[in-house]
A = this chain, B = another copy of it.
Amino acid sequence: MKTLIDEAKTLRRTLHQYPEVGFTEMITTYLILKEVEDTSFTLYLGSDATDINAQMGRPSEAELLKACERAESFGVDKDTLDKIRNGETGIVAVLDTGVEGPHVGFRFDIDGLPITEAEKDSHIPFVEGFKSKHDGEMHACGHDAHASIGVALLKYIDTNKDELKGKYTIIFQAAEEGLRGANGYVQKGWLDTVDYFFTSHVGLVPLKVGTVNAKSKGFLSSKKFDVEFYGKSAHAGAEPNAGKNALLAASNAAVNLNAISRHRDGATRLNVGKLEAGSGRNVIPDYAFMMCEVRGEKDELTEYMYERAEAVIKGAALMYDCDYKIRLMGNASTAVCDDELVDVIKRATVNNSYITQLNEEGPAGGSEDATYMINRVQKNNGKATYMTFPYELKAGHHHPEFDVDEAVLGVAISTYIDIVNELNKD
């Protein structure tokens, strides 16, 4: 166990230096691959692992190409790169013991964020020399830890496979940020026969390290979407009537999106986070772009907001004789964890010395696309939970000074191993 945890710490520090945003985790995928390719797990990459058509908010060709070149420079072999260069990053690792038993699924997300890491003496990755080497990208949400925990779990299962029964599927998921990646794996069917599903997040709640929340509640449903308005430019002084003003279509849409009515059944949200329109001062703007999101306490509320948003956007476009396009960029449901797994975790960790406090439930950290997986497992009568492994956060998630208390690695890895063993008992 000690070795596993030490290796996880080392791996986490390596991954931390190569953060890659969603669907460009080419170095990350490669580094994980190197760790696990000599095990008995069957490894699936690229289109074998995920369904590109179910990915949302994919990067541009140019961004993929740039990531690819960076991965090449890093030394990722051509063979691996060819499988994932289209953004089908991540790995699915499967081991069937051949012995009858449950199918247990795990998911670890692996992507970084478009944030520039802090260079302060209070920031350990900077001081100890394992800060991000990718300008403008950072592991500011702890997914480097997640990936490392997943690798440790995989190794444990591999080492002990002869004493284990049933089947194990471990998903190293791309692009959790923006709620864009999970659905690709779900559509590929990996969750369809899973009996027990576990996933988790480090941090989130500022509690003493050693605390485990066995399930989470309060997942916000959300839809992220981009809007484009296509008008027609014209000289604003000479022939303004010849234009179709995309900027005005967008401006009206922005205001009226915010005016979508509150809903009887609970809290909703809407934001137009970005609006860019027009080119030159004296040209009727022929193009506008908006980044939007809606949220709801329940899926139905998010759907209500999204449907109303579609009408507003269509109406605004029509007002100014513009065409428009709405592109779904991210999506997450709410989800409800299963109490049965809380019991499993309780029984499993009864002798775990890394854990100082086991809570039945903690808060979910907003929106999460693991909910896709949870819902799919439950749809097929499986059980699922989303654990959290808190520690005293020095800075919030998505902050340039965010850091992981590495003591949490031991708590998480031991908990996962306990679970595997507990499920093997019956």
Binding site for B on A (CB under 8 A): 178, 220, 222, 224, 236-243, 245, 247-248, 250-252, 254-256, 258-259, 261-265, 267-285, 288, 291-293, 295, 304, 308, 311-312, 314-321, 329, 366-367
A295 and B237 in contact, given A254-B247, A285-B273, A316-B315 (Cβ under 8 angstroms) = yes
Sample (22) of A-B pairs whose CB atoms are under 8 Å apart: A178-B281, A236-B271, A236-B293, A240-B262, A241-B304, A242-B264, A248-B254, A250-B275, A251-B251, A251-B275, A262-B268, A272-B278, A272-B285, A273-B278, A274-B279, A274-B281, A274-B285, A276-B276, A281-B293, A308-B321, A315-B317, A315-B318
Q: Are A247 and B275 in contact (CB under 8 A)?
A: yes
A178 to B318, CA, bound (A): 30
Q: Are A240 and B263 in contact (CB under 8 A)?
A: yes
Tell me the number of copies of this protein.
Answer: 4
A405 to B301, CA, bound (A): 37
Q: Are A278 and B274 in contact (CB under 8 A)?
A: yes
Which chain B residue lies CB-closest to A271? B236
Which of B240, B252, B317, B320 makes the CB contact (< 8 A) with A271? B240
A229 to chain B, nearest CB (A): 12
Which chain B residue lies CB-closest to A226? B281
A367 to B243, CA, bound (A): 20
A273 and B263 in contact, given A237-B295, A254-B248, A256-B255 (Cβ under 8 angstroms) = no
Q: Are B321 and A311 in contact (CB under 8 A)?
A: yes
A243 and B256 in contact, given A275-B276, A282-B271 (Cβ under 8 angstroms) = no
A255 to B304, CA, bound (A): 19
A379 to chain B, nearest CB (A): 26
Residues of B within 8 A of A259 (CB): 248, 255-256, 258-259
| 6 nearest CB pairs, A to B | A315-B319, A236-B271, A315-B318, A251-B251, A258-B259, A273-B281
Which of B254, B255, B262 makes the CB contact (< 8 A) with A267? B262
Residues of B within 8 A of A262 (CB): 240-241, 262, 267-269
Q: Are B267 and A273 in contact (CB under 8 A)?
A: no
Q: Are A278 and B256 in contact (CB under 8 A)?
A: no
Which chain B residue lies CB-closest to A305? B241
A339 to chain B, nearest CB (A): 27
Residues of B within 8 A of A277 (CB): 274-276
A224 to chain B, nearest CB (A): 6
A317 to chain B, nearest CB (A): 7
Residues of B within 8 A of A308 (CB): 321
A105 to B293, CA, bound (A): 51
Residues of B within 8 A of A254 (CB): 247-248, 251
Which of B220, B240, B288, B293 makes the CB contact (< 8 A) with A264? B240
